[in-house]
Structure 1
């Protein structure tokens, strides 16, 4: 004959504690991205009031290439190329034209690279 065993209910407290500890562990060991800000100024506010004698620099950004005044360059050498193409230390307008499917991250990387040069005012044109 079988002995009549009564089944015990499982306690959920231990399971909840383990899940909480795992959640706490993953939250404390994960790395969080550091977001930076890129300041943009509307071209209609400052460009119309000040006439600059310095010719603008034309930058074309594609998904896999970067051209400054029709010369190929990289994001790492962009500040040096902009500094070399400036006629003087006066503020210069950089016309940034996007061509093709340029991602927002690539555009942000280009703007952060341009920020390293003092007196650069970027104006962003749409994709063509």
Structure 2
């Protein structure tokens, strides 16, 4: 006797597409899109003349240390020291060491951005 062959049914793709669509919809609606803090950056002209009577502070940023006018401090204390030392309209020159990552620079710019009447210039290499 010959065995009867079972015919396989073709797999319907419609139900699979519906499941994928529902999963996509679920993950899109359940995820949150949070807006991170923004840091405003303004490009400066390299040839722009600056007044000579402007008060300046020099800040050196490394991966583990921060120096404000040559004195070692922490990132948390920079705002307090600048509030105490700087006059309104002070220009802060920021020098970056080679081992700086973008997050460390952003943390510093957020701290400096919280202080009013400061002009921040990040020196290039």
Taking structure 2 as the reference length, the TM-score comes to: 0.82
**Counterpart-to-counterpart distance in 2, 1:83 and 1:41:** 24
**Counterpart-to-counterpart distance in 1, 2:119 and 2:106:** 14
RMSD: 2.2
State the partner residue of 1:14: 15
Conserved in 1, the CA contact under 8 Å of 2:39 and 2:109?
no
- The alpha-carbon deviation at position 43 of structure 1 amounts to 5.2
- The alpha-carbon deviation at position 49 of structure 1 amounts to 4.8
Conserved in 2, the CA contact under 8 Å of 1:96 and 1:124?
yes
5+ long unaligned stretches in structure 1: none
**Counterpart-to-counterpart distance in 1, 2:50 and 2:85:** 24
5+ long unaligned stretches in structure 2: none
Conserved in 2, the CA contact under 8 Å of 1:38 and 1:112?
no
Taking structure 1 as the reference length, the TM-score comes to: 0.80
Conserved in 1, the CA contact under 8 Å of 2:94 and 2:122?
yes
**Aligned with 2:123: secondary structure?**
strand
Equivalent residue pairs, number: 123
State the partner residue of 1:37: 39
Residue-by-residue CA offset, 1:80-118 (whole Å, 9 max, x unaligned): 1211121x3x31010100012211222122111101111
